[in-house]
Chain A
Amino acid sequence: MAKGNGDAERVEEVLGERLGRGIIAVGRPQPDTLLVTIEPGTVLAATQALLDDLGARFLVSVGTDRRPISGDFAVTHLFSLDQSHLYVVLECPVASENPEIDSITPLIPGAAWSEREIRDVVGVSTRGHPDPRRLLLPDDWPEGVYPLRRDFPYNERPPAAEGTRPAWVPTPEGASVVTLGPFFPVLEEPSNWRLFVEGETVVGCDYRGFYNHRGVEKLGDSVMTYNEIPYLAERICGICGFIHSTCYCQAVERAAGIEVPRRARYIRTMMLELERIHSHLLWLGIAGHILGFDTVLMQTWRIREPVMWLAEVITGNRKSYGMNTIGGVRRDVTEVTKARILEVLGPVEKESLAVRDAVVGDTTLHMRTKNVGILENAWARQVCVVGPPARGSGVRIDARIDHPYAAYDEVVPRLCAHDEGDIWARVLVRIEELLDSIRLVREAAAGLPDGPIVAEITEEIPSGRIGVSTVEAPRGEAVHYVLTGGDNRPWRWRVRAPTYPNLQAMPAMAAGGNIADIPITLGSLDPCFSCTERMETVDVRSRNVRVYSPAELLAMSRRSGRPGGGS
């Protein structure tokens, strides 16, 4: 990361010029992470500088309740300098008396949800936010109750507020509303889209999501330890569970400076790519299903099924593998399973190629996907779209290449991008990635080094450290941010799923389209609401358990059963 060093200095320099005394402190928690603490009043200037002078890409904003430690809140904006392989963490302390900070949404449309979420969960409001409606709490949630504040118990269910109505955008004149969801056949998950239509033409839409908000984070607040959270992270999303658990583990490992053995990194890479294979095949089928082309669904899922069986062989479960743990993986890939992997991949590759050849020339599919649901490159950048939707619009980002993790420094993926920005481009990106993933799994299997699969953790994870990790999920880049705490738990764990920014691009893609195009347009984002609507996390249950080596942990954990908690 020598390059990162030089660029970090440049960032410091630029920010120093722009902000002057606005900078409170500058730190380097990891070689590729720059932590800049600034006066909250200079947040707009800092953001402007990062965007204009350094070409930074916004990742996510995190709101943290630090009152028990330092008596204030913190709003942290994460940026990525993709070319420089550098994360920039912009931390703004916010006084607890009047928690308010300037909104950066006017500069970065993609920050809108992050900031709304901060208002919802920790109660730091944003000045100048163009759309300060409630984002993720239930409609009947009382005002002024902030679930992610430290003094809010994880299992408290405040009584419903009276007479609340969902905060819907007013219907444009002359249009009628067609509601999609919360229960809608092609949205596998609950979310409420209100399409404003004139005839079949969509003139606008409003999104009320977060029906899937389960309180993942706060749950950890009272129940989880560092080593339990991977299982929770996995259940943020059933399809890309391994991505989230990897991302979380990496964030903690980075914060704590744990070196993961190479074999574990390779195994993680293999699993990540296997997950991409089954996810992309799944998506192809679902896309076909949305278009009524059930044959595609049936055939791609038939091709996919052996991959699922393979997952069962390797991990013991078809999904929610339970493979990751801090410092490595739980199960090894033996020679036998390796042979099995290669055996399965052969037909998958052959049939995927056949599907590609068939689909690419199918003009009826083109009719439905070409020039439909167009996401302009400029807008994709503005709302910080990630993953295949971004790459389909010519935004050439891929976390595996920009911030290499696991074994991606040695098993190098190909960046698959198209410039058209329509649904078809996203289809092509995914098919190419699917084929590339098969290559990557083969390479990783071939190059699998010997050694341990999990690092011996000998020291307690220090508190107050931050770790930022990005992992390229099939849907795009997942971001996990961990602020370590005492008591064997993170103080704050923030997850940004890839769908979170991608969904924000949906209104622009929907407007002017046809009702019939909405499901496939939405589908082409490969949205994953459950990921999006998790809710950060974590603090640990009240008992004091340090992190030790697995053996020690084992011993410790026998100490006591957890009282209470019955059904």
Chain B
Amino acid sequence: MAMLEKACQKAFGKALWVYHANTGACNGCDIEVINVLTPYYDAERFGIKLVGSPRHADVLLVCGPVTRQVAPALQRLYDATPNPKLVFAIGSCATGGGCWFDTYSTLGGADKVIPVDFYVPGCPPRPEAILYGVAVSLGLAPKTVGAELLRQESVEELARGESIVGEVRP
């Protein structure tokens, strides 16, 4: 029985059913999300498929800045999705609010309302970038970005011969 349970958990990553939620996006990301399912990119290779009801979903794809009007609905959507679930923020708006991150009628990125598991920046992200995000979430690919801390040498450091330019925190 425990073995079966484990198998069920293992299967999670191999059959991600996706619910696509536009929370105020401009359509760019939404179209690219659909594009990922089309022949050239074919996300269904990885068992990913688009579903119509949040009850069937394993993954919420959130596109767009969360507008004030849509925020309660997004919260309800999150609650309506069975655990375990992943939330992907697709595009710059969902990851960080885009160019409307601080306007009166948006709340910013998706993580202002619900917990986000993966961020896929881009405006809009290329279909490849979305696929890459999926690959990262499935552990098929390592993430390549990290916070970068760059610094020009100061006089003192120059004098000491130290330089930390270009260090990347993984």
Contacts and interface: CB of A to CB of B under 8 A. Distances in A.
Task: Determine direct contact between A and B, CB below 8 Å.
Answer: yes
Interface stretch (B6-14, B66-74, B137-145, B157-165): B66-74
Contacts of B34: 188, 286, 297, 301
A439 interface: no
Interface in B99-158: 99-108, 123-124, 126
Nearest to A210: B69
Given A241-B26, A530-B25, A567-B96, A147 B105 contact: yes
A528 interface: yes
A157 B104 contact: yes
Given A182-B70, A320-B124, A302 B39 contact: yes
A210 B106 CA distance: 12
B83 interface: no
B28 A239 contact: yes
Contact of A188 (B27, B40, B67, B99): B27
B67 A301 contact: no
Contacts of A185: 20, 50-52
Nearest to B125: A318
B65 A528 contact: no
Contact of B103 (A139, A182, A215, A318): A215
A218 interface: yes
Interface residues of A, number: 55
B contacts with A: majority SS: loop
| Residue picked from B20, B96, B99, B107, most chain A C-beta under 10 Å | B99
Interface stretch (A123-131, A230-238, A247-255, A370-378): A230-238
A567 B27 contact: no
Contact of B38 (A214, A241, A297): A297
A238 B24 CA distance: 12
Contact of A211 (B27, B29, B67, B99): B67
Nearest to B97: A567
A349 B104 CA distance: 45
A185 B70 CA distance: 16
A224 B67 CA distance: 20
B28 A212 contact: no
B90 to A, nearest CB: 12
Nearest to B35: A301
Nearest to B54: A183
Contacts of A297: 34, 38
Which of A215, A298, A320, A567 is packed against the most chain B CB atoms within 10 Å?
A: A215
Contacts of A305: 35, 38-40
A565 B97 CA distance: 12
A530 B106 contact: no
Contacts of A535: 105
Contacts of B102: 154-155, 565
Interface in B43-88: 50-52, 54, 64-65, 67-70, 73, 77
A212 B67 contact: yes
A282 B34 CA distance: 10
A218 B26 contact: no
A140 interface: yes
A473 B145 CA distance: 37
B26 A301 contact: no
Contacts of A241: 26, 28
Contacts of B24: 190, 211-214, 530
Interface string A135-163: 00111110000010000111111100000
B38 A189 contact: no
A157 B71 CA distance: 14
A238 B104 contact: no
B124 to A, nearest CB: 6
B21 A183 contact: yes
Contacts of B104: 147, 152-158, 215, 218
A239 B105 contact: no
Contacts of B23: 190, 211
Contact of A302 (B38, B51, B69, B98): B38
A530 B23 CA distance: 10
A380 B77 CA distance: 36
A75 B140 CA distance: 57
Nearest to A317: B123
B121 to A, nearest CB: 13
Nearest to A528: B27
A453 interface: no
A137 B103 CA distance: 13
Contacts of B54: 183
Contacts of B168: none
A530 B69 contact: no
B31 interface: yes
A214 B27 contact: no
Contacts of A565: 102
A285 B34 CA distance: 10
A318 B67 contact: no
Contacts of B22: 183, 188-190, 212
Contacts of A318: 32, 124, 126
Nearest to B30: A188
A188 to B, nearest CB: 4
B26 A236 contact: yes
A202 B38 CA distance: 33
Contacts of B32: 318-319
B69 A139 contact: yes
A141 B27 contact: no
B43 to A, nearest CB: 12
A213 B105 contact: yes
25 contacts: A154-B103, A155-B102, A157-B107, A188-B30, A188-B31, A210-B69, A211-B67, A212-B70, A213-B105, A214-B105, A215-B100, A215-B103, A215-B104, A218-B103, A218-B104, A232-B99, A238-B28, A301-B34, A302-B40, A319-B28, A320-B26, A320-B124, A530-B24, A530-B25, A530-B64
Interface of B: 19-32, 34-35, 38-40, 50-52, 54, 64-65, 67-70, 73, 77, 96-108, 123-124, 126
Interface of A: 137-141, 147, 152-158, 182-183, 185, 188-190, 210-216, 218-219, 231-232, 235-239, 241, 282, 285-286, 297-299, 301-302, 305, 308, 317-320, 528, 530, 535, 565, 567
Question: Can you list the 4 inter-chain pairs with the closest CB atoms, starting with the nearest?
Answer: A238-B28, A215-B103, A238-B27, A301-B38
